[in-house]
Amino acid sequence: MGTLIALASFSEGKMIDKVRSAALLSPIAYLSHMTTPLGVVLATSFVAEGVTLAGLAEFNPKCQIVADFLTWLCKMPGVDCSDYLTAITGENCCLNSSAVSLFLQNEPQPTSVKNMVHLAQTARSGVFAKYNYGTAEHNLQHYGEVRPPVYNLSNIAKNLPLFLSYGGRDALSDTRDVGTLLDCLKLHDPDKLTVQFIEDYAHVDFIMGINAKDLVYSAIIKFFRRQ
């Protein structure tokens, strides 16, 4: 979510005066090619919208109602939650068991149901746009348009230093979706855009991979020091 928020803000000229550069790990703007089983079910079967209709405002996996809901999802064809982390993020290559155990004690954190619906809309539409309120009338009230405005990522300041790192096994930030993002940045100043691809990495490897310090964080520090 952090990269999505940053890219949306940068595309509208926001936050540019508050940052000197930005490092985006497993960058998500587009989600139409994600392969995470839970994510695909949530997006394609309008499950997230169903949670909204049920009257829930917060999607908290530790809440009994949501926990029961996730248990139901995990019984759907093609969804295997025996390895919950892999079911969400893809097959990470470089985690140790103690780190995963600690991670799962604290994650996933709650988010708003509206946020979940917006991600589902992004996955289904293949477009990086603002939240769709469901009717032309409601969209007009919020945006003055019948359809949600699309974020134009080519509007990101061409001289803003960006570091993007993505993995070949990431089920959330699929390489094809990152390719779409990079295509939007094709006119970016080449001296201001650094792209790193790690074939074996999935989503969580960038956070907790045993070799992330050497592969990713050292490169980020070098990038920041050049700016």
Residue 111 tokens, joined: 């988010």
User: What is the band of 57 on the pLDDT scale with cuts at 50, 70, 90?
Assistant: confident
pLDDT at 59: 76
pTM: 0.88
Q: What is the pLDDT of residues 2-13, one digit of tens each?
A: 899 999 999 999
Can you tell me the mean pLDDT for 162-185? 96
Q: What is the pLDDT of residues 115-163, one digit of tens each?
A: 888 988 999 899 999 999 989 999 999 999 999 999 999 999 999 999 9
User: What is the band of 93 on the pLDDT scale with cuts at 50, 70, 90?
Assistant: very high
